[in-house]
A and B are shown apart, each in its own frame.
Chain A
């Protein structure tokens, strides 16, 4: 099998995801609703009990990385769900019988999901000013890159499960069951310091933790907040007191993505 032919296949599978994403305005809007609700309703509501701001930093600003992760989370899962959908409506078979390697389909799908999900993240990124985060090119680029990684890993995870689960309803139910705990434990809602032991362990196991933290670090690096506040709200992720560096967090996210991509490819090789 020629590599150039497979790369053409990767590109066209990716393109299809893009066409479907841009055609589906409704999906773009509905995927924005949850993060926006989260940011403005929950963020604003909760700030009344913390008297509007935590040490001078608005609660919405704190929650902003969580909203970005949330937007990516739902869009990536939706992309992966489309594989189950494709199977139900037969289109998956058109791809599976083509004279291409299976990895090309899986990689194309994951790259497509990653791109659409991080584009969705960019829409939330546009709200930075509203929540008190200054616009800056370096911030946008850093966060976009980090979201891309997160989106890729999430889509790979979704595609991996979609290889096994052939019913859309079951797939959606499984994801609902997984997404909420992942999100709650990820540090999107509260700083991951001074937690009781059991909760600290759970948050450290949650893979999403290592995607939210780098985004928060990037956001806080662009805020002009006093060091004490930053320390309080952006404590980072620690293992036994050792603060996990950003590069390692990103390596963790990437490694998981690559591993799940590998499993997904392996599973689709067996499928007929």
Chain B
């Protein structure tokens, strides 16, 4: 019996660019069959880590193996064992989808007899069968992404790396990409290692690692991470928000803020707190909602800073700062 090799394993993996420590010593273990999410803001070092794992960038320190092969000493073995979808598109727009795939099959040495069937398979999986003969330049952004994922799978890799596979796509297309990824994990015996800076997408992963400024701050399942924050988000609307906020501060020792037009605060055991709130606040409450912490909250709680993303609005940043400060 052989012990199944780890899909990805890294110890002290680091990369410097001149004076920038892009990745500052990362330890990672990804088991075969997992969907592993790498979560962090822009510039956190996600792409650089992926590039080191995919043998595109030499680590300046540390070691890593992918599918059991060393990323420095067994480059070609690693490359054959992985599929890659980059953050930036790498398709040839002049060629058709089929021609792009055929080219990939040749570059990866897919056995001639298997190419046709494999192409039909992956095109079907991403729903591009009827557009297979169109030039890629006529594709929409979402179709290109799907084709890239199909291409990454063509040579039946053991680990598929996806660097921000849904960035820049509209919500519907993002959802459809995720449908394909979920379909994929059901159908193929494959490990998926992906990065994202969309918190909601990390929910789809079996485990996630939060990376900030080149360091992994925590690795766990999304559920465990959310549980670890230990606080729920409570939002109330009242006729007199100022008075409600003052009362909250005085009687319950919480720091409410106005977020999304509602008085918002964090407290452990939010649902059990609601009856007390009604009894003791002294300001009439029109509505109340309690939500479990999101991964945004998790991120803030672990990194202590706002996610430096264009998507985040001012009010949610304020909320996040509060979550972080009140840990």
Contacts and interface: CB of A to CB of B under 8 A. Distances in A.
Nearest to B51: A272
A99 B109 contact: yes
Give the size category of B's interface with A.
20 to 34
Contacts of A173: none
Q: Which of A2, A11, A15, A16 has the most CB of B within 10 A?
A: A16
Interface in A49-106: 86, 89-91, 93-95, 97-100
A201 B99 CA distance: 49
B79 interface: yes
Contacts of A12: 102-103, 106-107
Given A1-B76, A93-B86, A23 B104 contact: no
Interface string A8-42: 11011001100110011000000000000000000
Contacts of B77: 99
A95 B57 CA distance: 15
A23 B92 CA distance: 13
B287 to A, nearest CB: 49
Contact of B89 (A24, A90, A100): A90
A5 interface: yes
B80 interface: yes
Interface in B64-117: 76-77, 79-80, 84, 86, 88-95, 99, 102-104, 106-109
A12 to B, nearest CB: 4
B108 A99 contact: yes
Given A90-B89, A99-B76, A99-B80, A23 B94 contact: yes
Nearest to A272: B56
For chain A, give the interface size range. 20 to 34
Nearest to B81: A99
Secondary structure of the B side of the interface? Answer: loop
A24 B91 CA distance: 18
B108 A16 contact: no
Nearest to A24: B94
A157 to B, nearest CB: 24
A106 to B, nearest CB: 14
B99 A90 contact: no
A5 B155 CA distance: 14
A121 to B, nearest CB: 23
A55 to B, nearest CB: 49
Interface centre among B54, B102, B107 (most CB of A within 10 A): B107
A90 B107 contact: no
B157 to A, nearest CB: 11
B93 A89 contact: yes
A9 B56 contact: no
Contact of B94 (A2, A5, A20, A95): A20
Contacts of A272: 56-57
B90 A94 contact: yes
A203 B84 CA distance: 50
Nearest to B96: A19
B58 to A, nearest CB: 8
**A-B pairs with lowest CB-CB distance, top 8:** A12-B106, A98-B107, A99-B79, A90-B90, A94-B90, A5-B109, A99-B76, A99-B80
29 contacts: A1-B76, A2-B109, A5-B109, A8-B109, A9-B107, A12-B103, A12-B106, A15-B103, A16-B92, A16-B95, A16-B99, A19-B99, A20-B95, A89-B89, A89-B92, A90-B88, A90-B91, A91-B91, A93-B86, A94-B90, A94-B104, A94-B107, A97-B56, A97-B79, A98-B107, A98-B108, A99-B76, A99-B79, A99-B108
Interface of B: 54-57, 76-77, 79-80, 84, 86, 88-95, 99, 102-104, 106-109
Given A98-B107, A272-B56, 7 more contacts: A1-B76, A16-B95, A89-B92, A94-B91, A98-B108, A99-B80, A272-B57
